[in-house]
């Protein structure tokens, strides 16, 4: 039994490493503003229509320490406290997405961080209201896609 569990764990680790190295995986979160506005379904449909496969999906609500940990890289930025408050203000939908060139293609699909700078047709242009309340998160590199996916999902949650 122990051997079987070890083997399964090794297979999972190898698969995860392979996904990260080959750049076919990214992580996204539909943020509380977009969820509250009822735009989650439209955003998920747009993601699917653009060729991304949903590998894991979760409706959840972060606690303060979760949001602080998720955005720890921004802890010295002036907007950090406000960002954390926003991210725990309501439910989010977290997802792992799969597609060739996932990170870059997804960042193109969501558009610039500030919706005022986002290209026409992008998710943020369509559904974001400010640089903070910008509807969705998308990983900025393959390494962070792995870290962020693991932050929300165990291997039991993925298919």
Check binding of 132 to ligand CMP (CB under 6 A).
yes
Check binding of 116 to ligand CMP (CB under 6 A).
no
137 labelled catalytic: yes
Cβ nearer to ligand CMP, comparing 99 with 137: 137
Check binding of 89 to ligand CMP (CB under 6 A).
no
- Catalytic residue among 74, 137, 155, 159, which? 137
CA angle (47, 108, 62) in 5-degree steps = 60
Report the C-alpha gap between 124 and 135 in whole angstroms.
6
**For residue 59, how many other CB atoms are within 10 A of its CB?**
11
Check binding of 137 to ligand CMP (CB under 6 A).
yes
Q: Give the residue, chosen from 28, 40, 122, 134, that forms a contact with ligand CMP under the rule CB under 6 A.
A: 134
List of residues 6+ apart from 125 with CB closer than 8 A: 111, 115, 118, 119
Instruction: Number of residues interacting with ligand CMP: please give it, by CB under 6 A.
Output: 8
Cβ nearer to ligand CMP, comparing 1 with 26: 26
User: Which of these, 60, 30, 61, 24, lies nearest to 133 by C-alpha position?
Assistant: 30
Q: Is the dihedral of CA 15, 18, 24, 27 positive or negative?
A: positive
Contact set with ligand CMP (CB under 6 A): 74, 79, 83, 113, 131-132, 134, 137
Positions annotated as catalytic residues are: 137
């Amino acid at each position: 039994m122990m051997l079987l569990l070890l083997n399964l764990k090794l297979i999972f680790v190898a698969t995860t490493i392979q996904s990260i190295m080959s750049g076919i995986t990214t992580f996204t979160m539909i943020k509380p503003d977009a969820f509250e506005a009822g735009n989650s379904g439209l955003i998920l449909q747009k993601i699917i229509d653009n060729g991304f496969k949903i590998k894991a999906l979760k409706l959840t609500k972060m606690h303060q320490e979760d949001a602080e940990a998720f955005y720890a890289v921004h802890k010295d930025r002036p907007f950090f406290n406000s960002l954390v408050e926003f991210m725990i203000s309501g439910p989010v939908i977290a997802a792992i997405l799969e597609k060739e060139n996932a990170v870059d293609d997804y960042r193109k699909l969501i558009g610039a961080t500030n919706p005022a700078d986002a290209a026409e047709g992008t998710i943020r242009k369509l559904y974001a209201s400010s640089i903070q309340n910008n509807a969705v998160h998308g990983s900025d590199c393959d390494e962070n896609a792995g870290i962020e996916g693991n932050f929300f999902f165990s291997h039991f949650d993925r298919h």
